[in-house]
Structure 1
Amino acid sequence: MGNFDVIRENVTARQAAEYYGVHVNLNGMACCPFHNDRHPSLKLDKRFHCFGCQEDGDTVDFVAKMFGLRTIDAAIKIAEDFNLAVDFQRKESAKERNARIRLAKAKEHENKVRRAYAEEIRQFRLKLSDFFRTFHYWNLEYAPSEDEWNAGTIDKRYIAAVKFIDQVGYLLEVIDFGNDDDIFEIYKNREEIISKYEREITNAQQRATR
Structure 2
Amino acid sequence: MTIFDDIKELVDVPTAARSYGVEVHRGNMALCPFHRERHPSCKLYADHYYCFGCQAHGDVIKLVQELFSLSAIEAVKQLNSDFGLGLDVDKPPDMEKVNRRRREIAERKAEKARVERMYDTLYKYFALLDRYKIRYAPKAPTEDIDRRYVYAIHNIEYAWYLLETFNRTDTEQQKDIKLEVDRIEREYKRCVEEWGEW
TM-score by length of 2: 0.56
Unaligned stretches of 5+ residues in structure 2 = 15-27, 29-41, 47-59, 65-74
Q: Secondary structure at the match of 2:141?
A: helix
- Tell me the alpha carbon deviations over residues 180-199 of structure 1, each in whole angstroms, 9 at most, x when there is no partner: 22211123554333112322
* Structure 1 contact 142–158 (Cα < 8 Å) conserved: yes
* In structure 2, C-alpha distance between the alignment counterparts of 1:156 and 1:65, rounded to whole Å: 59
* Structure 2 contact 125–184 (Cα < 8 Å) conserved: no
* In structure 2, C-alpha distance between the alignment counterparts of 1:197 and 1:186, rounded to whole Å: 16
- Among candidates 97, 100, 104, match of residue 98 of structure 2: 104
2:151 counterpart of 1:160: yes
- Tell me the alpha carbon deviations over residues 47-73 of structure 1, each in whole angstroms, 9 at most, x when there is no partner: 4xxxxxxxxxx755555566x53xxx3
Q: Secondary structure at the match of 1:154?
A: coil
Name the counterpart of 1:143: 137
- Tell me the alpha carbon deviations over residues 126-145 of structure 1, each in whole angstroms, 9 at most, x when there is no partner: 23222222111111111113
Equivalent residue pairs, number: 148
Q: How far is the alpha carbon of 1:16 from its aligned partner?
A: 4.1
Name the counterpart of 1:179: 170
TM-score by length of 1: 0.53
* In structure 2, C-alpha distance between the alignment counterparts of 1:20 and 1:117, rounded to whole Å: 17
Per the alignment, do residues 65 and 196 of structure 1 end up closer, same or farther by CA in structure 2, a change over 3 Å counting?
A: farther
2:146 counterpart of 1:129: no
- Among candidates 46, 63, 81, match of residue 63 of structure 2: 46
Q: Secondary structure at the match of 1:27?
A: strand
Name the counterpart of 1:28: 44
Per the alignment, do residues 61 and 121 of structure 1 end up closer, same or farther by CA in structure 2, a change over 3 Å counting?
A: farther
Per the alignment, do residues 122 and 172 of structure 1 end up closer, same or farther by CA in structure 2, a change over 3 Å counting?
A: same
2:109 counterpart of 1:115: yes
* In structure 1, C-alpha distance between the alignment counterparts of 2:137 and 2:77, rounded to whole Å: 59
Unaligned stretches of 5+ residues in structure 1 = 1-6, 31-43, 48-57, 80-87
* In structure 2, C-alpha distance between the alignment counterparts of 1:192 and 1:200, rounded to whole Å: 12
Which protein is bigger by CA-based radius of gyration? 1
Name the counterpart of 1:192: 183
Name the counterpart of 1:39: none
* Structure 2 contact 13–44 (Cα < 8 Å) conserved: no
Q: Secondary structure at the match of 2:122?
A: helix
* In structure 2, C-alpha distance between the alignment counterparts of 1:63 and 1:190, rounded to whole Å: 39
Q: What is the aligned-residue RMSD (CA, Å)?
A: 4.0
